[in-house]
Structure 1
Amino acid sequence: MTTVTTHTVDYPADGLAMVGHLALPAGTDRRPAVLLGPEGPGLSDVERRRADALAELGYVALAFDLHGGRLLSAPEDMLARCLPLLADPDRMRNIGHAALDVLRAEPRTDPDRIAAVGYGTGGAIGLELGRDGVGFRAIGTVNALTTGRPEETARIRCPVWAGVGSEDPIMPPAQRDAFTAEMRAAGVDWRLVVYGGALHAFHHPPTDGPVVPGVGHHPRHAQRAWRDIVGLLAECLPVTPAR
């Protein structure tokens, strides 16, 4: 098994003291990197483990923070923070750029070979960075079929992969249609995978928190979505052998 080194990284964003999770692959050379965005409740061990898994594959991975080191497990707390955030592209971009600056400053990162992968709010931030002209090699999102300023979407010059559950009430067919129409109009290289029978946040393992209608884990599709994301990275951001 490849040796992975992890660090906690502190940085300011959105008026908060953010606490990210940086995972480094074995070796000393520069590697392609992934900016990993969490679901609305914030950075949890789920995203930290995914960053570690990406480092096992040879990527530098930064799982970034949304809420200043807090995990908003109560739905009302999460919505109170995330709904205004999702309605403000500039705030999302500021949070994303702050994390991206940390990732680019890591000596192991190849600053010209970075992808964004995100879930829910974290995926929306990755898309907004693409709309802001960040030169990602790929953008992958789950549960984040967010639309933006249509005139800026043409700035996304990398492949976009998006995954969503067919029964997701937060990202219903009308939202899928709006997202794909925006991608088509902008000439983006995009793909959308609809996972049959899956709810919102189907990729996220069950928690001890309250049951939220329309949200539920789908183990089989969670594995498929992860394989699809890894495949996107292999296509657009291949890893060379470690030196």
Structure 2
Amino acid sequence: MRTVLALLMVGVGFLSANAEVQTKQVTYHDGDLVLEGLVVWDPATASKTSPGVLVVHQWMGQTAYEHRRCKQLAELGYVAFALDIYGKGNRPADRQEAAKLSSTFKSNAELYRRRLNLGLEQLLAQPGVDTKQIAAIGYCFGGKGVLELARSGADVDGVVSFHGALDSPQPEDGKNIKAKVLICHGADDPFVPEADIDAMKKEFNDANVDWQMIYYSGAVHSFTQPMAGNDNSQGAAYNAKADHRSWIAMKSFFAELFESDK
């Protein structure tokens, strides 16, 4: 009897271990440049297709932060893929390098959109992804990135921008947007001018984009990122309340988005 119980306990432990969220590195290319993404999923949903969520990194590149967000998404039942804009092993050493590297893409929409769409292709190719139910989220540099992905005409259901740049450098591209848009923005963000927000709103309205925008009081840039510190005077700082509320807003957006696809 004890042997049977012991075997049952081992079996339960084995199942529990295998029920944990799984990860896999994915290598892909843009010409000769090697890119490396990370796919994260929950094996408990492996027997059926699940919505896929693309995760676009902030200006320091793909880090443990994006991996944590992917894990959270997998725990919600999605297959998440953290793409790589910069290239395998190409990570800024500091904020100065990050500003320089990210500006390369901000000033070259064609290059930026190509890298974004290459990441989307990898998400769509992952086992267990329902290719009819796809969204993208991004932070800071990636917050602008998901808007650029939408402007490229990518066939995604929705995008969520967390404290991203909100300029409208090519307003005519608004007509390409097929996705619904959710923007989560710090009300005190000093890096996003009101003129940019007004231009973005005009672009979206002129193109009849289905968009919504939430302002979080007391929040500045990078409000979802603990590594930003807690000093609002720096212009970028973590805000636990805004982080929590924006994640809930994203979940509600996804519930509406994917339910409408059924």
Would you call these one fold, judging by a TM-score over 0.5?
A: yes
Does the residue aligned with 1:61 lie in a helix, a strand or coil? strand
- TM alignment of 1:38-187, pairs within 5 A: 38-68=57-87, 69-144=89-164, 145-187=166-208
Q: Is 1:24–2:41 an aligned residue pair?
A: yes
Q: Is 1:188–2:209 an aligned residue pair?
A: yes
Cα distance in 2 for residues equivalent to 1:78 and 1:86: 12
CA shift digits 1:102-145 (9 cap, x unpaired):
11111211112111111122222222221121121111101222
Unaligned runs of 5+ in 2: 1-15
TM, length-normalised to structure 1: 0.90
Give the deviation of 1:226 after TM superposition: 1.1
Cα distance in 2 for residues equivalent to 1:173 and 1:203: 21
The Cα RMSD (Å) is: 2.2
Does the residue aligned with 2:195 lie in a helix, a strand or coil? helix
Does the residue aligned with 1:36 lie in a helix, a strand or coil? strand
Count of aligned pairs:
238
Cα distance in 1 for residues equivalent to 2:53 and 2:69: 11
- For the Cα contact (< 8 Å) 2:55–2:136, is it kept in 1? yes
Higher helix share: 2
Letter in 2 for 1:97: N
- For the Cα contact (< 8 Å) 2:228–2:236, is it kept in 1? no
Give the deviation of 1:148 after TM superposition: 4.2
> Which is further off, 142-151 or 47-56?
142-151
Give the deviation of 1:3 after TM superposition: 3.1
Q: Which ranges of 4 or more aligned residues in structure 1 deviate by more than 4 Å? A: none
TM, length-normalised to structure 2: 0.84
Cα distance in 1 for residues equivalent to 2:228 and 2:240: 13
Give the deviation of 1:73 after TM superposition: 4.6
Cα distance in 1 for residues equivalent to 2:173 and 2:115: 18
Cα distance in 2 for residues equivalent to 1:239 and 1:159: 12
1:97/1:158 CA distance change after superposition, 3 Å: closer
Does the residue aligned with 2:234 lie in a helix, a strand or coil? coil
Give the deviation of 1:8 after TM superposition: 1.1
Match of 1:13 in 2: 30
Cα distance in 1 for residues equivalent to 2:245 and 2:182: 13
> Which is further off, 149-158 or 81-90?
149-158
> Which is further off, 31-40 or 64-73?
64-73
> Which is further off, 151-160 or 54-63?
151-160
- For the Cα contact (< 8 Å) 2:56–2:145, is it kept in 1? yes
Cα distance in 1 for residues equivalent to 2:254 and 2:201: 21
The one of 213, 228, 233 equivalent to 2:234 is 213
Unaligned runs of 5+ in 1: none
> Which is further off, 89-98 or 144-153?
144-153
Give the deviation of 1:81 after TM superposition: 0.8
1:212/1:14 CA distance change after superposition, 3 Å: farther
- For the Cα contact (< 8 Å) 2:228–2:238, is it kept in 1? no
Identity between Structure 1 and Structure 2 (%): 30
Cα distance in 2 for residues equivalent to 1:239 and 1:205: 33
> Which is further off, 150-159 or 93-102?
150-159
Does the residue aligned with 1:66 lie in a helix, a strand or coil? coil
Letter in 2 for 1:185: D
Letter in 2 for 1:58: G
